[in-house]
Amino acid sequence: MNNSANQIKATGKYLRISATKANRVLDQIRGKKYQDAKLMLQFLPYRSCTEINKILDSAVANAENNYGFARQNLTIKTAFVNQGPTMKRFQPRAQGRAFPIHKPTCHITVGLISNKENEIL
């Protein structure tokens, strides 16, 4: 089974995380093996790690259930973040003024590839 034709990926959409803060974590795990990435996400001190961990688990479940790959042979090929819509709110300030608050969202996509060729259960 050619895994370039079958892209193994999972996407989390409309996450309440800034795209730049999520990208800081994705740069750390891109190109790593699945076990190494899970270990890094467990101990990195960023809030976006929990959401990225869930998306990574979903991508691994897709690889196991849909393509029959073993999780110990998976490597993170692509990991990127796109900016989502920004929620705009207003905070009341002194003397009747309004202060704008922008709450950013993002879409995170994690793509996997198998290290072993022709791995089918």
- Residue for token digits 């989502």? 84
- Where do the structural domains in the chain lie, given as residue ranges? 8-114
Per-residue pLDDT, 36: 94
Q: Which ranges constitute the DSSP H helices of the chain?
A: 19-29, 34-43, 48-67
User: Would you call 56 exposed, middle or buried from its count of C-beta atoms within 10 A (0-12, 13-18, 19+)?
Assistant: buried
Neighbouring C-beta atoms of residue 29, cutoff 10 Å: 23
Amino acid at 95: Q
Phi, psi for residue 61 in degrees, rounded to 5? -65, -40
pLDDT at residue 118 greater than cutoff 80: no
More confident residue, 115 or 48: 48
Determine the 3-state secondary structure of 108 from DSSP. Answer: strand
Is 8-114 a CATH 3.90.470.10 domain? yes
Asked if residue 2 has pLDDT above 60, the reply is: no
* pLDDT above 70: residue 87: yes
Over residues 74-91, mean pLDDT:
95
| Residue bearing the bigger pLDDT, 4 or 97 | 97
The residues near 113 (Cβ < 8 Å, ≥ 6 apart) are 3, 8, 74, 75, 77
How confident is the model over 112-117, as a mean pLDDT? 82
Mean pLDDT of the chain: 90
Instruction: Report pLDDT digits (tens) over 21-73.
Output: 999 999 999 999 999 999 999 999 999 999 999 999 999 999 999 888 998 99
- From residue 1, alpha-carbon distances to 63, 68, 96, 118 in Å are 12, 10, 64, 6
